[in-house]
Amino acid sequence: PLFHFLPGTHVLSIGTVGCNFACGFCQNWDISQASKKGVVHGQNLPPEKIVEYAKESNTPTIAYTYNEPAIFFEYAYDTARLAHKEGIKNVFVSNGYESKEAVDKIRPYLDGINIDLKAFSDDFYVRNCKARLQPVLDNIKRMHDLGVWVEVTTLVIPGENDSERELRQIAEFIAGVSKSIPWHVSRFHPDYKMQEKEATPAETLEKAYIVGKEAGLKYVYTGNIPNGREDTECPECGNMLIDRFHSNMKGLERDKCNKCKTKIEGVWE
């Protein structure tokens, strides 16, 4: 999710199959870990068709999601470049495992990105994702420094990355890049190779929310659970800016709180 990127508008979401991670808890495993043999079901759409559809449906943003955009980088790049020519924005939903060269190449056409920071332990990444932590940390900072709007998501898994210490490490890292980066802490549901795990308790997500606020993050959200923590509030006065349950942006005037006039970071137009 990107909560601070054109809220209230439609998004055209596209994806392919495959991933450069092998997460045992992946909730899109049927496409991310699709067999390399056999038929892949889907539509064959060239970049021109995707942009044409976005234009015809008056959709202001194309999201490259469902599976890792780095896997279909050339396709995403060609589409994003055409989209920008038509005034359409582009966002990635990513694990953050792109090379520096890929980041530099896509940067002129990438407006926003949500990066999964799955844990703050290299051991977690090696065991559960067959990847490493540091490149993800580097790309969160790199994307932010390049001016791409960044949001971060952590799927909180019981017994894996849910200790207060690790949650605090994640929150403090994000705050060290920018306190304005929204942090989404999402509830885990048993899936794929982690069927034996319990769903994340609501109290754990509340703990993560508090930890994020204590680290100085302005915008912390809990996901996959109905508790009101997906609304956006002004970090200064607490005014309700965006009520996501009712899809109401009653407290936001362009990019400011309508009560105290504090600037709210994000992409609003």
CATH number at residue 59: 3.20.20.70
Beta strands in 84-190 (DSSP E): 89-94, 112-116, 149-156, 183-187
- pLDDT surpassing 90 at residue 60: yes
Quick check: is 89 in a domain? yes
- pLDDT surpassing 90 at residue 202: yes
Average pLDDT over residues 189-198: 91
Residue 250 DSSP label? T
Quick check: is 253 in a domain? no
Q: What pLDDT score does 37 carry?
A: 59
Buried b (16+ CB within 10 A) or exposed e, 173-194: bbbebeebbbbbbbbbeeeeeb
- pLDDT surpassing 70 at residue 38: no
Quick check: is 99 in a domain? yes
Pairing of strands 232-233, 240-242: antiparallel
- pLDDT surpassing 90 at residue 35: no
Average pLDDT over residues 264-268: 98
Quick check: is 251 in a domain? no
Residues in the chain: 269
Quick check: is 68 in a domain? yes
Q: Give the number of domains in the chain.
A: 1
Q: What is the pTM of this model?
A: 0.96
Quick check: is 257 in a domain? no
- Write out the two tokens for 172: 């403090």
> How high does pLDDT run on average in the chain?
95
Range of the domain at 58: 11-34+43-230
Amino acid at 32: S
Quick check: is 183 in a domain? yes
- pLDDT surpassing 70 at residue 111: yes
Quick check: is 6 in a domain? no
- Output the DSSP codes for 184-223: EEEE----TT-TTSPPPPHHHHHHHHHHHHHTT-S-EEEE
